[in-house]
Structure 1
Amino acid sequence: MSKNDLNLMEKIVSLCKRRGFVFPGSEIYGGFAGFWDYGPLGVELRHNIKQRFWDKFVSGRDEIYPISTSIVMSPKVWETSGHVSTFSDPLDSGEKFNTMFKTSIGAGAEASVSYLRPETAQGMFVNFKNIIDSFHPKLPFGLAQIGKAFRNEISPRDFLFRSREFEQIEIEYFVREQDWENTFETWRKEMHEWVGEIGLPKNSIHELEVSAEGRAHYSKRTIDFEFDFPFGRKELCGLAYRTDFDLRNHSVASGIDLQYFDEESGERFTPHCIEPTFGVDRTVLAILVSAYTEDELGGEPRTYLKLHKNIAPVRAAIFPLLKNKPELVNKAKELFLNLKSQIPNLAFDDNGNIGKRYRRQDEIGTP
């Protein structure tokens, strides 16, 4: 079926709920706009995406360091980063609405206002000196983080695409200023490789060179990697050249030297930063859109997901031909137990007849 079919989103949302991929948040109370809960298969799919990323870009590389930073930080972080003054969307009235979630820290009159982070990046910038002091990395090097971020969207919509709570994968890759263009191009190629490895068709990914007016306040160059969603061509992931904006501003505001000292040359300077960033939830949605397939089998309509084996929540399934034959059931269970340690996410199924079991595995994307 056409991936531009406007009914496709309704079908995907229905399949996600029916098969335990994604549920509406707080559903028994009528739902809560902009929030979604992941069921067992959705958790596995999302985990496989993140693990694949981690294996490729973090564990598989010596110069990228993992980090996990706090969701709530000092409000000074967000004032310095420019989010307090610029992170806003226009209302119909023409006023600006800051999309950061405010929260109170402490009790009573002494409570101070802070924010739920709208991006994971700032936690990496404010820990730059800690990484330098602890590991003494040589340029270029990067910090990588997977974590939740929050944006108080005026109008959350399009299922997982635009929600108020979401998960990001971000890398802050530090380089000498003169090396930024070559590094940018290297990451550009790596991002194209990545989307192919998780099963997204190359012809569904399009680059958008973001204009100066459309770029974030910290960026000197940004490329959006857009995907053909049923509701239009929209951003899936992005690559930004953040210059030395963040380290320089945090250094001035905090009074802490965030420069890099090159022991070989004796130079001291503020590194520049290339930022590849990926939305986990948008990636899940893009994968579901690409994988969703309808056809006919034996004159009856059939729905199935063509998920890549690298990320499928169930990699393989074993079931007996007949569930009322104990010898077949026992043999199937024996095979399942023998293979379970060798095949990740292996499933056993003896519910319903053999045809229904195949249909069920087809619909959840078992390769």
Structure 2
Amino acid sequence: METIVELCKRRGIIFQSSEIYGGLRGAWDFGPLGVALKENVRDAWKTAMFQLRDDVVPIEASILMHPKVWEASGHVGGFTDPLVDCRNCQSRYREDQLPTNKSGEIYCPNCGQAGTFTEAREFNLMFRTFVGPSEDTAAQVWMRPETAQGMFVDFAHVQLTSRKKVPFGIGQIGRSFRNEITPRNFIFRVREFEQMEMEFFCKPGTDEAWHDYWIRQRYDWYTALGMDPANLRIRPHAEDELSHYSKGTVDLEYRFPMGWGELEGIANRGDFDLTQHAEHSGKDLSYFDQAAGERYIPYVIEPAAGVDRTVLAFMVDAYAEEEAPAAKGGTETRTVLRFHPDLAPVKVAVLPLSKKDTLTPTARRVNDLLKPHFRGVDYDESGQIGRRYRRQDEVGTPFCVTVDFETVEDDDAVTVRDRDTMDQDRVPIENLVAYLDDRFAAARA
């Protein structure tokens, strides 16, 4: 993990928030390449959920909601973790995540002492704030800990206005906030994060089949974007770890550097959420099936993933170190991120062989030619060409286009270098867009 963190900082992908003031634990900023990578992950999810389907519609719900939403959902009373303090060094931890020694006692990861903890007390993970000028209970609201509830409280209105029939889904991408006791493992567990969630409403009795369907759909989404199946597994929740609302949940887990960890949860939430909101609000959230002539509360299947955690998984999966030919002979170790082309933050880099005035106009012409066709074109003329290739390898750029003296003096063609094979092709500039389109299509196949 330290290698990934160092690469992210060196290339301005992800770095500590407020670093000049010492940083804030569990808070990270995304630089230009990190923003592009996150946007590509979001786009891939939205394409799969909305563009390629007719039965899922998007919404964008407010972060701040009526406080009774969180009472109905059970978050006010039950969204807690067991908090303990080490009496020896005053460090705080979640009790259920503390390591144990050979004697089976939990011990403090900071000072190493065992048996020095306070009694566990429940700690609510929701951030609270206030609406308006008063800071009292009447003005108190919560920063949402998940995006799901917005889709439940908006279910009836979205179903009516979108004219969708059950089964159908409502999805959104948005920020959530959880006051984690011990944020850790880079961007794996943080206090402010982004979720990609979808609530799929279906007829009771069909829910288990839909649950199986969405497990397979979500697994295939990751592998279609290049994730190694050897690093991805499906783990059903045991009976004693199911959430109070769940009829059944599986986690798609990824083999992170610190071990297997949840990448996405796919839960069968039954009719818990719509029933709870109907009871607490007094509004009818049932669905009338005209074809069957019956009314019912739909069951819900929920695939829920974190954007940040997904970014981390794809970075870990893409990372490789390998021996490559060095510019002055022999070999050297190159670092490369073998991103799927749809995820790569830079799709094409335009590299004039040198910073000579004779090359710049043509290189800029090539750059301008590519920008309308590929989102993520980088122009780089600083440093030796070999070092620039290595920089692009490190951020996962699939293709580098080099403009050299032969380009301007002879053939009006450029050299296209493949990230993975390092093979090079000579391509006329007039054919360059079509050539790259074909190469990207082949890489996606």
TM category (shorter chain) comes to: over 0.9
1:302 aligns with 2:340: no
Over 3 Å counting, the alpha-carbon distance change for 1:265 and 1:346 in structure 2 is: same
Q: Find the aligned partners of 2:14 and 2:159 in 1 and give their Cα distance.
A: 40
**What residue is the counterpart of 1:25 in the other structure?**
17
Aligned with residue 344 of structure 2, among 290, 294, 312: 312
Q: Does 1:148 align with 2:180?
A: no
How far the C-alpha of 1:34 sits from its partner, in A, is 0.8
2:267 corresponds to 1:236? no
Residues 204-224 of structure 1: CA deviation (Å, up to 9, x unaligned): 001111012111111110000
Gaps in structure 1 of 5+ consecutive residues: 1-8
1:315/1:344 contact within 8 Å kept? yes
Match of 2:58 among 66, 71, 81: 66
Which of 120, 129, 152 in structure 2 is aligned with 1:103?
129
Q: For structure 2, list consecutive stretches of 5 or more residues without a partner in the other structure.
A: 85-118, 399-445
- Mapping 1:133-212, distance limit 5 Å: 133-212=160-239
- Greater shift, 216-225 or 110-119, is seen at 110-119
1:80 aligns with 2:72: yes
TM-score, normalization by structure 1: 0.95
| Aligned twin of 1:43 | 35
Out of 238, 250, 253, the residue aligned to residue 223 of structure 1 is 250
Percent identity, aligned pairs only, is 48
* Residue of structure 1 in register with 2:90 after alignment: none
Distance 2:294 2:81 in 1: 41
CA distance in 1, matches of 2:135, 2:64: 20
Alpha-carbon distance between aligned partners in 1 of 2:169 and 2:287, rounded to the nearest angstrom: 13
Q: CA contact under 8 A between 1:319 and 1:329: conserved in structure 2?
A: no
Shift of 1:109: 6.1
CA distance in 2, matches of 1:257, 1:339: 53
Alpha-carbon distance change, 251 to 343 in structure 1, aligned in 2, over 3 angstroms: same
Q: For 1:90, which of 59, 72, 82 is the aligned residue?
A: 82
Q: Distance in 2 between matches of 1:268 and 1:226?
A: 37
Shift of 1:136: 2.6
Q: Distance in 2 between matches of 1:185 and 1:300?
A: 47
Describe the SS at the equivalent of 2:262. strand
* Structure with greater contact order relative to length (CA < 8 Å, sep ≥ 6): 1
1:347 deviates by 1.4
SS in 2 for 1:241: strand
Alignment of 1:240-255 (within 5 A): 240-255=267-282
Quick check: 1:207–1:223 contact (8 Å CA) kept in 2?
yes
Instruction: Give 1:343 deviation, angstroms.
Output: 2.0
- Distance in 1 between residues matched to 2:76 and 2:224, nearest whole Å: 37
> Secondary structure at the residue paired with 2:240?
coil
Secondary structure of the equivalent of 2:12? coil
Q: Which range is displaced more, 88-97 or 299-308?
A: 299-308
Q: Is the 8 A contact 1:49 1:198 kept in 2?
A: no
Q: Which residue, out of 332, 335, 342, partners 2:363?
A: 332
Q: Deviations over 1:216-267 (max 9, x none)?
A: 1111100001000011100000100000000001001100000001122221
Q: Which amino acid aligns with 2:387?
A: K
Alignment RMSD (CA, Å): 1.2
Secondary structure in structure 1 of the residue aligned to 2:8: helix
Q: TM-score, normalized by length of structure 2? A: 0.79
Q: Residue 49 of structure 2 aligns with which residue? A: 57
Where 1:91 maps in the other structure, the secondary structure is strand
Residues paired across the two proteins, number:
358
Secondary structure of the 1:319 match is strand
> Equivalent residue for 2:355?
323
Deviation for aligned residue 1:28: 1.1
1:349 aligns with 2:364: no
Post-superposition offset of 1:192: 1.2
Q: What is the CA–CA distance in structure 1 between the aligned matches of 2:26 and 2:141, rounded to whole Å?
A: 21
Q: Give the superposition deviation at 1:340.
A: 1.6
In structure 1, distance between residues paired with 2:374 and 2:273 = 44
